[in-house]
Amino acid sequence: MTVIAVTGHMDLTEDSVTLVRDTLAALLADHSDHGLTGVSCIAKGADAIFADAVLSAGGQLVVVVPSADYRQTKVKPDYAEEFDRLHQAATEVVVMPHAEANREAYEAANEELLRRADLLFAVWDGQPGNGRGGTADTVAGARAAGLPVTIVWPDGAARKSH
């Protein structure tokens, strides 16, 4: 069985969502014959796209929630239904022992992702991060731990301008 974790950008453009979804589906197909488990924090964007692709490939989903208040404070109304669907579809849900969603909680969640994984998929544009707990930081942590990292950034993928 292969356990694949995900890290990635939340701010993908609408066109990028389809590109990333198709690329992830193709990559996951290579692992679905041997039993597949995906580990995701199911944040909007790359995490949710990956989680949905794992379920579509017939895999099991492990959800890592950064903090007790994450759903109430960080999940926006336009994403709440999808978050709840993925949360309910999970085989296992791990809530990190943090009361509030903050950098420390995100770092702990990312460490848990890496601890459980055989491989990390990073939906990442390769740019430096904006601090601890983000995509670039998680990729660096995986590489430092000797965990294989597959960068998923299909041609044409982009992030929304801020």
Decide if pLDDT at 57 tops 70.
yes
**Phi and psi, residue 8, nearest 5°:** 175, 175
Q: What is the mean pLDDT of residues 51-72?
A: 96
The structure tokens listed for 79 are 């994403």
Decide if pLDDT at 162 tops 70.
no
H/E segment holding residue 138 = helix 135-144
Fold that domain 6-151 belongs to in CATH = Rossmann fold (3.40.50)
The structure tokens listed for 158 are 């982009």
Percentage above 90 pLDDT, the chain: 88
Closest listed residue to residue 111, CA positions, set 128, 94, 99: 94
CA-based torsion, 121, 124, 125, 130: positive or negative:
negative
What does each C-alpha distance from 130 to 9, 78, 101, 133, 134 come to in angstroms? 12, 25, 17, 9, 7
Strands (E), the chain: 2-8, 36-40, 60-65, 92-95, 119-123, 149-151
Q: What is the pLDDT of residue 69?
A: 97
Distance, CA of 149 to CA of 121 (rounded, Å): 6
pLDDT band at 1 (very low <50, low <70, confident <90, very high): confident
Q: What is the pLDDT of residue 30?
A: 83
Closest listed residue to residue 45, CA positions, set 128, 139, 160: 160
Q: What is the mean pLDDT of residues 1-12?
A: 94
Q: Average pLDDT of the chain?
A: 94
- The pLDDT tens digits for 104-124 are 999 999 999 999 999 999 999
Question: Which stretch of 32-36, 81-85, 120-124 has the lowest confidence by average pLDDT?
Answer: 32-36
Distance of CA 106 to the CA centre of its chain: 12
* Sequence spans of domains, the chain: 6-151
Distance, CA of 115 to CA of 125 (rounded, Å): 23
